[in-house]
Chains A and B, each alone.
Chain A
Amino acid sequence: MRILAGGTDLVPWLRDDLITPDLVVDIKRLPGLGDLDVVDGALRIGALVTFADLVASPLIAKFLPMLGEAAGTVGSVGIRHRATLVGNICSAVPSCDSGPPLLVHEAMVHVIGSEGGRVVPIREWFLGPKQTVLDRGELVAHVTVPIPPVPRGAAFVRLSRYAGEDLAQASVAVLSLPEGEWRVAFGALAPTPVRAPAVEAALSGRQANDGAIADALRLVPDAIAPITDMRASKEYRMAMAGVMLRRALHLAETRRAGAGPAYGTAVM
């Protein structure tokens, strides 16, 4: 059984016989799945919320601008008007653009099913390429993302083959929080989007200066496990992960200070 919301992954997979579900359930007309609001200090993003909704949302721009930055890199304008954030984490391809931002924001995935509901921290959500903890008979109702404390700064940096519609060759999300807390996650550089706790520890309590960044970059190779595929070689991904992290750290730090280029400015 598969759930259809935007269908931008599901329909091509069906057409190419990559999946052969016995049942496809279209949830687009189900009530209560389209919320995009603030509940208990967190943004609630319903299963039907598209990336275009995120790009246009004042709440996202105010509280989670880096998630909006990532949303704006997904596919093309047309794709973003159908593809949903929840669908993106359910498809769970290693390059999914919502993975790294949700990881650094420590989002919670709210699952409902015939046996009742459960809440899964995003760090436990991804099991492997196209694999999650979601069971048959379950669907994701929404994702909640805690509003981070101020001052904060963040950056989503993405590498792709060109500026047009493309899947990420690699991506990095960085979140800079008060008291020198840094959070770092990578996409398309391992079987799933991954947090990089060792990298975060090396940065903890420090400014993103040359020394801190050098310490962080040394730990990148152990934080990721890139492969060679159609989109990039392992060597290029490995080399770019460091370049991207450095640029993302600079961006996040300057943004935390209220400066730096606006969210959505491409730096690759």
Chain B
Amino acid sequence: MIKNFGKYILMLYYIFHKPEKFGVYFKRLSHEVIELGVKSLFIVSIMSAFMGAVLVIQTATAIESAWIPDYTVGFTVKQSMLLEFCPTIISLILAGKVGSSIASELGSMKVTEQIDALEVMGVNSIGYLIGPKILGSLFIFPIVITYSMFFGFMGGGLVCYFTEIIPVNQYILGIRSFSEDNFTFIRYALTKTVVFAFLITSISSYFGYYLKGGSLAVGKASTNAVVYSSIFILFANYILTQLMLI
């Protein structure tokens, strides 16, 4: 356990070594932004829209009372999406999609000696392969989560429009109400996202890069990457919530 943590810290140390050539690293960074972020937009938009839609139906059903105004549904959806669903649940989904992809990519490179080839050339393989993934995710994940919030609200709005469970204008009023705390909530959500992005990419990279064994070990590394990323996301979620919201 301590040995693994030490290796993880050493890996992070090597990431911040000076790149051999900034241009090549920047190209790699752009590639990672597309691979990790842009290529996740489809699944994120589907998940978010359905989460928003289901949340509207569940909330509207749960608070069917003449004493509670309809816009409460919109407000509840906003709070749930901003505070928890978008940053945490979408990050857990990304831990599955992106985390397993990173671990299997690096693991395959390890098994096929591509990482050794980089080292023999004199390239800092950790800096070249993992650095852009971490930096890319820190940049693109907050954008993906903002996009997810938009789609979540849209999903809820579409349910209101098609099912008339509550009037659309009441839903929008709920979304816009009590907006003085919105900045705090968005800052909280995006801070969480940045921390989760770091955890997902660094933990998954660790499992892929330090893989030992053959192709069977690649599958195991991929599973470990998802499991440990998810556990650490939940743990960090609790800590950050305690620190930032109380």
Tell me whether A and B are bound partners: no
Residues of B in contact with A (beta carbons under 8 Å apart): none
